[in-house]
């Protein structure tokens, strides 16, 4: 399954404007006149990751379901196994403050487990 | 050589035809005029009149003349023209046929394909009717594009810098507003909104009512009963509107307007711009509301807009510029003639389709939400007509979406699929645009999965299909307004009727040097055959070449019987090769 990043051929760290330029290039490559399906795919990919809010939603949506529980289990039950420090845990708890911190925090947690 | 596709702006008041020549847009003139008034009439000799002559005849014989036919497109009504009933499609076809002839005379070859513009807010039925008008006129409508989009294309197709434009298009009968992003020569419509029954005609009507009231009050005459007087008042109102674009006052004067109880009635009254602006204020407010809806649809605010483009003759009204200036803080643009930019954009799109090198890419959206109804909770109650939107407004075209539904009771054999256009959570408050049944479902428990797929093409036309997932049993329809649907047969007879009308003018004037239809048809076949050369066997190719030579000789010698015979043979080969 191709991710929106694959479809637009951009890195996951790409900025809004990089993603937009990639999208415009792809639209020129697959204009709606001649490439109905590819165009729709490109357009949807762009709509999915065009700004930070969309990208965060996409990341959360595509995270495996149990991950938050696993994270909490890891913290409360098997604490010694996973080396999660107080700072990282606080980051996770403070994640709801804004989308960016949530994204960074979940990414860090994912790396640990 | 590429086949020529013309771009046509089929407007409520005026129409134009344009082509791309050597990379430049050219609006084709007819007797020095770029604009063809959208009037159709039949004179007392039975000759058909289109454009300026019909517009002039309107004053003398309003009952032999039709104006603003676009406002009736897509409705199941007939208009009376010199004692005969015509469908709106037929009247529009007459205008299209004239535009086709103007273009053919200019390029000196037959034209059979066109891109026609429609208001963005035109419904499915109105689009269908427009396509039919093209067919009746002998034009294959290869694409219908939205008018504000065409204007954006004419303005910004070759711009590289990013620019966000608001296109405000107020024509004779329709209003559209679109928010467009232009960047790296991709012209992308972000949102569209509008009203398909709001335009300059409504402004005229306000002035007409004002004049009629004045006549009743001051002279005790109701001019509504006199069709000629009414036609003159209509023209006077329109002229007054034009004058008020430049002047603060206008004198409306018509001598010998009509006779009443043996005395001649003269019309003379003054109208100030301020009073006129009061009359049309509600309409202008409605357009500004639409502007805000479009901005919201694009998730933008007025400060995000770099440029405003005005399209349509009605945008010459000064108070519109003032209102937009108040909303946005800068002056709208109108470098490209607001009457011509739509046709120019249509020609650009036509060139893209015919494969001419045009750098721009166009991405357009639908202004409507389409969906179906289902049994579901609405406001906390079980309700059988809960609206389930499937394609949302401002989605990029083309688009295809599928939604799954379940049968409601055991052994359910039939599902009723009704398609609506609108946004109200109660489907019954939306516009029903089509309905069909899927019958012969499996005899199973409730919960049988039925998928409903909606596909909206680049022309903004909807195709619906429903499928029983387990068996693949499928039913599909192209949505056409059930009311105004022209059967193929009536399309043919409409074409003959319209052709016959033109037959009379062909004899009466010598400007028409264009070829008769069978020659045009034969030329189309030849082009088609040549396109198939690569794919066909040597034997077939030789046969086709022989027939093409035969056809060319027949055209030169004007031998229409032999031409028909050769054309039929060629058509058979093409049919065989294509199937």
Report the candidate in B153, B182, B177 with the shortest Cα–Cα distance to residue B167. Answer: B177
Confidence of residue A100 (pLDDT cuts 50, 70, 90): low
Distance between CA atoms of B40 and B50, rounded to whole angstroms? 5
Contact A32 B362 (CB under 8 A): yes
| Average pLDDT estimate for B543-552 | 82
State which H helix or E strand residue B206 sits in: helix B200-219
Kindly indicate the confidence band of residue A65, based on its pLDDT and cuts at 50, 70 and 90: low
- pLDDT the model gives residue B511: 36
Q: What percentage of chain B carries pLDDT values higher than 70?
A: 94
Q: What is the pLDDT of residue B577?
A: 79
User: CB distance B398–A24 less than 8 Å?
Assistant: no
* The pLDDT value given to residue A84: 63
pLDDT at A59: 83
Decide: A68 and A109 in contact? Cβ < 8 Å: no
Contact B550, B572 (CB under 8 A): no
Q: Is B233 helix (H, G, I), strand (E, B) or coil?
A: helix
Which residues pair with residue B25 across a beta bridge? B20
- Distance (Å) of CA A108 to CA A14, A56, A85, B193, B560: 18, 14, 12, 44, 81
Which one of A20, A32, A36 has the shortest CB-CB distance to B363?
A: A32
Mean pLDDT of B497-520: 58
- Specify whether the CB–CB gap between B37 and B58 falls below 8 A: no
Contacts of A40 in chain B (CB under 8 A): 396, 398-400
Give the residue, B47 or B504, on which the prediction is more confident: B47
Specify the pLDDT at position A97.
52
Q: What pLDDT score was predicted for residue A72?
A: 66
Q: Provide the pLDDT confidence category of residue B239 given band limits of 50, 70 and 90.
A: very high
Judged against a pLDDT cut of 60, whether residue B488 lies above it is answered with no
- List the one residue out of B520, B522, B529, B550 whose CA is nearest residue B138: B520
The predicted structure's pLDDT at residue B487:
57
What is the predicted pLDDT for the residue at B572?
85
Give B458's contacts in chain A (Cβ within 8 Å): 32-33
Q: Which residues pair with B17 in a beta bridge?
A: B8
Residue B478 pLDDT exceeds 50: yes
Place of tokens 């959206």: B365
Contacts of B352 in chain A (CB under 8 A): 33
Q: How many residues does chain A have?
A: 113
Q: Are B142 and B353 in contact (CB under 8 A)?
A: yes
In this prediction, residue B556 carries a pLDDT of 72
The enclosing H or E element of B24 equals strand B24-27
Mean pLDDT computed over B270-279:
96
The distance in angstroms from the start CA to the end CA of chain A is 24
Euclidean distance between CA atoms A22 and A12, whole angstroms: 13
**pLDDT category, B248, cuts 50, 70, 90?**
very high
State the catalytic residue, choosing from B16, B30, B70, B195.
B70
Check: CB of residue B481 under 8 Å from CB of residue B128.
yes
Determine contact, residues B13/B37, Cβ cutoff 8 Å. Answer: yes
Distances (CA, A) of B69 to A100, B14, B407: 56, 11, 45
Task: Note whether A38 contacts B: Cβ–Cβ < 8 A.
Answer: no
Least-confidence region, from A87-96, B79-88, B265-274, B436-445: A87-96
Give the pLDDT score at B433. Answer: 86
pLDDT attached to residue B2? 63
Is B398 within 8 Å of A28 when comparing Cβ atoms?
no
User: How many whole angstroms separate alpha carbon B389 and alpha carbon B82?
Assistant: 46
Q: Please give the domain boundaries of chain A with CATH numbers for all domains.
A: 4-75 (1.10.287.110)
Catalytic: B70?
Answer: yes
Instruction: Select the residue of A24, A33, A39 nearest B183 (Cβ to Cβ).
Output: A24
Q: Which of B24, B27, B59 is nearest to B41 (CA)?
A: B59
- Chain B residues inside the 8 Å CB shell of A39: 396, 398
**B398 contacts A39? CB cut-off 8 A:** yes
Specify the pLDDT at position B547.
85
Dihedral sign of CA atoms B540, B543, B549, B554 in order: negative
Total-model pTM: 0.78
User: Within chain A, what is the greatest distance between any pair of CA atoms?
Assistant: 59
B400 touching chain A per CB within 8 A: yes
The tokens for B246 are: 């430049």
Concatenated DSSP letters for A24-85? HHHHHHS-TTT-HHHHHHHHHHHHHHSSHHHHHHHHHHHS-TTHHHHHHHHHHTSTTTS---
Which of A31-35, A70-74, B74-78, B203-207 has the weakest average pLDDT? Answer: A70-74
- Give pLDDT tens digits for A2-52: 899 999 999 988 999 999 999 999 999 998 988 889 999 999 999 999 998
Q: Residue for token digits 């529980």?
A: A69
What tokens appear for B395 in the block? 């989605």
Tokens of B244: 């008020």
Element (H, E) at B373: strand B370-378
pLDDT band at B570 (very low <50, low <70, confident <90, very high): confident
- Per-residue model confidence (pLDDT) at position B377: 86
Of B117, B565, B57, residue with least CA distance to B347: B117
**Residue B158 pLDDT greater than 60, yes or no:** yes
In order, the DSSP letters of B88-114 are HHHHHHHHHHHHHHHHHHHHTS---EE
Contact B73, B121 (CB under 8 A): no
Q: How far is A106 from chain B (nearest CA, A)?
A: 28
| Span B12-20, average pLDDT | 95
DSSP H or E stretch at residue B404: strand B399-406
Q: Is pLDDT at A66 greater than 60 in this prediction?
A: no
- pLDDT of residue B276 exceeding 90: yes
pLDDT band at B508 (very low <50, low <70, confident <90, very high): very low
Give which of B96, B95, B127 is closest to B113, Cα–Cα.
Answer: B96
Alpha-carbon dihedral of residues B36, B39, B41, B43, nearest 10 degrees?
Answer: -50
| Residue pLDDT, tens place only, B373-422 | 998 888 888 898 999 999 999 999 999 999 999 998 899 998 889 999 99
pLDDT for B66 equals 95
Which is higher by pLDDT, B372 or B439? B372
Which of A16, A31, A32 to probe the B interface (max B CBs under 10 A)?
Answer: A32
E strand spans, B511-567: none
List all residues of chain B from 342 to 381 with a beta carbon under 8 Å from chain A.
352-353, 361-364
| B186, B397, B399: residue with CB nearest A24 | B186
Chain B interface, best mutation among A28, A34, A38, A54, by max B CB count within 10 A: A28
**Considering chain B, what is the average pLDDT of its residues?**
88
């Amino acid at each position: 399954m191709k991710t929106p990043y694959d479809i637009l051929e951009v890195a996951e760290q790409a900025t809004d404007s990089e993603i937009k330029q990639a999208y415009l290039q792809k639209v020129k490559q697959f204009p709606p006149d001649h490439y109905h399906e590819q165009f729709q795919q490109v357009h949807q990919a762009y709509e999915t990751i065009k700004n930070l809010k969309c990208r965060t939603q996409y990341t959360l949506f595509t995270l495996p379901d149990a991950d938050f529980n696993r994270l909490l289990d890891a913290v409360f039950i098997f604490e010694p196994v996973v080396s999660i420090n107080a700072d990282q845990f606080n980051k996770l708890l403070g994640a709801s403050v804004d989308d960016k911190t949530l994204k960074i925090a979940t990414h860090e947690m994912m790396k640990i487990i | 050589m590429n086949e020529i596709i013309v771009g046509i702006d089929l407007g409520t008041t005026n129409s134009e035809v344009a082509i791309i020549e050597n990379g430049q847009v050219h609006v084709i003139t007819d007797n020095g005029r770029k604009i063809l008034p959208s009037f159709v009439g039949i004179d007392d000799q039975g000759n058909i009149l289109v454009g300026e002559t019909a517009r002039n005849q309107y004053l003398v014989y309003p009952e032999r003349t039709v104006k603003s036919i676009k406002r009736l497109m897509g409705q199941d009504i007939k208009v009376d023209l010199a004692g005969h009933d015509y469908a709106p499609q037929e009247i529009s076809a007459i205008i299209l046929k004239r535009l086709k002839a103007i273009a053919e005379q200019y390029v000196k070859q037959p034209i059979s394909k066109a891109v026609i513009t429609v208001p963005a807010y035109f419904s499915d039925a109105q689009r269908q009717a427009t396509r039919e008008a093209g067919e009746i006129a002998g034009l294959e409508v290869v694409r219908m594009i939205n008018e504000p989009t065409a204007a954006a294309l004419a303005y910004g197709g070759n711009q590289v810098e990013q620019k966000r434009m608001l296109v405000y298009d107020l024509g004779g009968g329709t209003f559209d507003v679109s928010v467009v992003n232009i960047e790296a020569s991709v012209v992308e419509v972000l949102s569209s909104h509008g009203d398909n029954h709001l335009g300059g005609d409504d402004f005229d009507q306000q002035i007409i009512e004002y004049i009629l009231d004045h006549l009743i009050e001051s002279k005790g005459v109701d001019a509504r009963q006199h069709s000629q007087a009414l036609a003159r008042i209509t023209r006077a109102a329109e002229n007054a509107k034009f004058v008020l674009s430049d002047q603060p006052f206008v004198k409306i004067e018509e001598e010998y307007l009509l006779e009443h109880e043996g005395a001649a009635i003269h019309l003379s009254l003054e109208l100030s711009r301020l009073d006129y602006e009061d009359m049309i204020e509600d309409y202008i407010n409605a357009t500004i509301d639409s502007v805000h809806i479009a901005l919201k649809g694009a998730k933008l605010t007025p400060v995000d807009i770099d440029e405003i483009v005005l399209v349509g003759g009605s945008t010459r009204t000064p108070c519109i510029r003032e209102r937009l200036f108040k909303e946005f803080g800068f002056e709208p643009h109108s470098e490209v003639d607001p009457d011509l930019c739509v046709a120019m954009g249509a020609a650009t799109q036509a060139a893209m389709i015919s494969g001419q090198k045009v750098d721009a890419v166009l991405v357009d959206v639908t202004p409507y939400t389409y969906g179906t109804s289902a049994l579901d909770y609405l406001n906390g109650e079980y309700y059988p007509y809960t609206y389930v939107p499937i394609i949302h407004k401002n989605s990029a075209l083309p688009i295809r979406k599928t939604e799954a539904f379940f049968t409601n009771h055991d052994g359910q054999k039939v599902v009723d699929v009704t398609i609506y256009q609108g946004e109200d959570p109660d489907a019954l408050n939306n516009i029903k645009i089509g309905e069909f049944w899927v019958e012969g479902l499996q005899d199973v428990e409730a919960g049988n999965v039925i998928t409903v797929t909606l596909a909206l093409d680049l022309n903004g036309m909807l195709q619906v299909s429903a499928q029983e997932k387990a068996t693949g049993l499928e039913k599909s329809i192209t949505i056409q307004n059930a009311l105004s649907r022209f059967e193929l047969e009536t399309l043919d007879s409409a074409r003959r009727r319209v052709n016959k009308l033109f037959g009379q003018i062909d004899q009466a004037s010598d400007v028409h040097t264009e070829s008769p239809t069978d020659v045009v048809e034969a030329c189309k076949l030849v082009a088609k055959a040549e396109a198939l050369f690569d794919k066909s066997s040597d034997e077939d190719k030789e046969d086709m070449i022989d027939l093409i030579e035969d056809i060319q000789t027949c055209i030169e010698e004007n031998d229409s019987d032999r031409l028909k015979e050769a054309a039929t043979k060629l058509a058979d080969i093409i049919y065989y090769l294509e199937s």
